[in-house]
Structure 1
């Protein structure tokens, strides 16, 4: 498998390597568990509505978000995960939120392991250890475990999907493509915006491999895997709502994204008697024709700044759990984000390689999210990929510098020897 970053250091002896991995995982587990038990966790607006929704589902059999009549406002991945935990812990007598948080710690650690295996497959042991260490102490990956929200579960399914998709591309088997499709389906049920991934991923595969039959075969089985997972949801929507809904019907994130700098009272259009979608479409038409520069700026650098400028804090907690001494946590996030464009460009210099899949997913999801209201939480699922890309390219750059310095030092020593020999003879 192609890699952008050959090994920088000699291969570790196996016992030492295993010990380093275990120590990093022990650190990661300690930080996550210590965080859960040492702070007071806030319960967000979305979590409160999820709780009402799940209780209504369990007690009345009605699947509806912010309503008492069936709807498809949100996909069922996280609500069903919550419902399963509620049932297991007897939610009428025990608070289910602490149990959900502890399960999310397990998912977070599993995500770390998947990130480690992806990095090792792409770039070897040195990079994989760096990815594992950075991810174990990156503050949002710890804070998110306290939030009863989709981020931790979605991140797990995304990294699982990437791991399986890379294996499917490498081994070209139907089974791996099917499993990749199942993982992608579970991801879509958790966060519907990821549905868009399947098309660009397989366009990339065809451009990379130039094997149309292979691409079609893998795509077909990936679609079958997705279909197995998504079909119950689609059928439910056809029966209950009398419409075909593959993802969700929520319009608010798209409509809210049409307000530059989140100024929801700018009075750009008359909203009276109109649906959210009608208002959103009218705002886009008026905005891009009459306030072109403002809207172009908002839908590019404005939203990018909102999405990536700050870390995701989960649903909030008190007192602030400083994973790293202040301000190292913020500096780590800023460094990762600002280095990522260089990593992206560097990875595209030789784009016919597995690393490009990560670059593609970051680019596609970033562009997709520019259509919606920007939130810091949107950078959360991109960060495992950004950390991996940054580590691979960063180590490659260090290796290049090391080779240049070594050659320069070697040439200098040779020059000194050849200069000294004539003097020695005279």
Structure 2
């Protein structure tokens, strides 16, 4: 096989997946433009923040004054799209529809990123199936039609993961710098990933790295240095405008407080009349008292119960419309096969602990789950972790293929074609 033929074959699967993803999302883009964009909950505040940013050049959230309740990544993303849309129409609906369109196109990118992440270790066919399952996962469409951070957070998180794995593979300083940049961008969209700035320290578990740790100092410095540089504008803004050091945001107090109520049995208005700082203090107090007086109950709540609530149901329509058509019913049924992908994907991620490169994704998935456990457990927060579960599904399929080859007397391959 000539190098040109090998190259064309290498990228053929990616191209086919890209075409399918573009056509699939174009259908839903057209469908979304046919109905008005409705804003609920957090989406209303993100829209407000973006609108104020464009009108007054002021970063706010649920007020008309300066704020730091949330990191600025997603409101700035919306503001830029609204500004671009205003060149063609002054209708705010047009701006919001344009945002939906961009979110769908970003989802096309996530499909390719899922495929490329799986290709670090898995054959093309297994990677293709994993990418295709993520493409067809109905909550993706449900999410893209809403103006919420998940639609920007997922492509940024996958881009960081890809950049970090590439840095580990190539061991070049600029690759580590690129990974640090993507971590900063992801942090500015959703701050829970900020502790991953310490991720290179995990390389010390590798005996070869420990032996040549001085060689890695430059790479780690590039990773951390670019992260800090990219975060500096946000930190400086907070110091100047908010008169305090705010590394990420101030909005974690409320979900932390509601996450301290086992099974939501006691009080549905815990935060009434309390400032963000008071909510945080009350949350910590409730957690300390809970673990002291009912340790088993709280341990179960902060582990098994919350994991069950996070992953037990898909972030999707909870009920099917009475007169839903065949396609809608099929989509609804596939969305509620969610628990199947969670179980198989979890098995695959456990198997990934023994696979080069993919073990990093397994560790990342565990970290992303762990950082959600202190907070209120709603399935929307588990949705961004699902791409990694589809990667786990691909690992299981590949493992089954290798087992079948062994049973048939064939020689299993380390990586298929």
TM-score clears 0.5:
yes
Aligned equivalent of 1:236: 237
Q: CA deviation at 1:236?
A: 0.2
Which TM-score applies when normalising by structure 2? 0.85
Distance in 2 of aligned mates of 1:138 and 1:309:
15
Please name the residue that 1:56 is paired with.
52
Contact 1:306–1:374 (CA<8 Å) still a contact in 2? yes
Residue 121 of structure 1: aligned partner? 120
Distance 1:271 1:44, change over 3 A: closer
Q: CA deviation at 1:72?
A: 1.0
- CA deviation profile, 1:84-130 (whole Å, cap 9, x unmatched): 11211227534211000001111110111111112123212112211
Note closer, same or farther for the CA distance 1:194–1:14 as it changes in structure 2 (3 Å cut): closer
* Conservation of the 8 A alpha-carbon contact between 1:173 and 1:218: yes
Q: For residues 383-420 of structure 1, give each alpha carbon's deviation from its aligned partner in whole angstroms, at most 9, with x where no partner exists.
A: 1111112212321123213321447xxxxxxxxxxxxx
Asked if structure 2 preserves the Cα contact closer than 8 Å seen for 1:41 and 1:316, the reply is no
Partner of 1:132: 131
Is 1:81 paired with 2:77? yes
Q: Write out per-residue CA displacement over residues 171-203 of structure 1, whole angstroms, 9 at most, x where no aligned residue.
A: 11111111111111110000011112222x323
Specify whether residues 214 and 101 from structure 1 end up closer, same or farther in structure 2 by C-alpha distance, changes over 3 A only: farther
Q: 1:89 and 1:242, CA in 2 relative to 1: closer, same or farther beyond 3 A?
A: same
Checking the alignment, whether the CA contact within 8 Å between 2:348 and 2:396 is kept in structure 1 is yes
CA 1:257–1:307: 2 relative to 1, 3 Å: same
SS, match of residue 169 in structure 2: helix
After superposition, residues 10-409 of structure 1 pair within 5 angstroms as 17=13, 20-21=16-17, 24-33=20-29, 35-37=31-33, 41-90=37-86, 92-95=90-93, 96-199=95-198, 201-208=199-206, 209-210=208-209, 211-250=212-251, 251-263=253-265, 265=267, 275-313=278-316, 322=328, 324-331=330-337, 333-348=338-353, 350=354, 353-406=356-409
Q: 1:22 to 1:80 in 2, by over 3 A?
A: closer
- Alignment gaps of 5+ in structure 2: 1-6, 411-417
Deviation for aligned residue 1:292: 2.0
Structure 1, residues 146-184: CA drift from partner, whole Å, max 9, x if none?
010111110000111111111111111111111111111
User: 1:368 offset after TM fit, Å?
Assistant: 0.9
| Contact 2:28–2:141, Cα closer than 8 Å, also in 1 | yes
Range that drifts further, 56-65 or 322-331:
322-331
Pairwise CA distance, 1:37:
4.3
Change (3 A) 1:65 1:26: closer
Larger RCO (alpha carbons 8 Å, 6+ apart):
1
Deviation by residue 1:305-338 (Cα, 9 ceiling, x = unmatched): 111111123999989783844423311x111111
Moved more, 181-190 or 243-252: 243-252
Question: Which structure has the larger Rg?
Answer: 1
Q: Cα 1:360–1:323, aligned 2, differ >3 Å: closer, same or farther?
A: farther
- Cα distance in 2 for residues equivalent to 1:396 and 1:142: 30
RMSD over equivalenced CA pairs, Å = 3.1
TM-score, with normalisation over the residues of structure 1?
A: 0.84
Checking the alignment, whether the CA contact within 8 Å between 2:137 and 2:335 is kept in structure 1 is yes
Offset at residue 52 of structure 1 (A) = 1.9
- Do 2:306 and 2:373's aligned partners in 1 also have CA atoms closer than 8 Å? yes
C-alpha deviations, 1:121-144, integer Å up to 9, x for none?
321211221112111101112221
Counterparts in 2 of 1:364 and 1:287: CA distance versus 1, 3 Å: same
Show the counterpart of 1:418: none
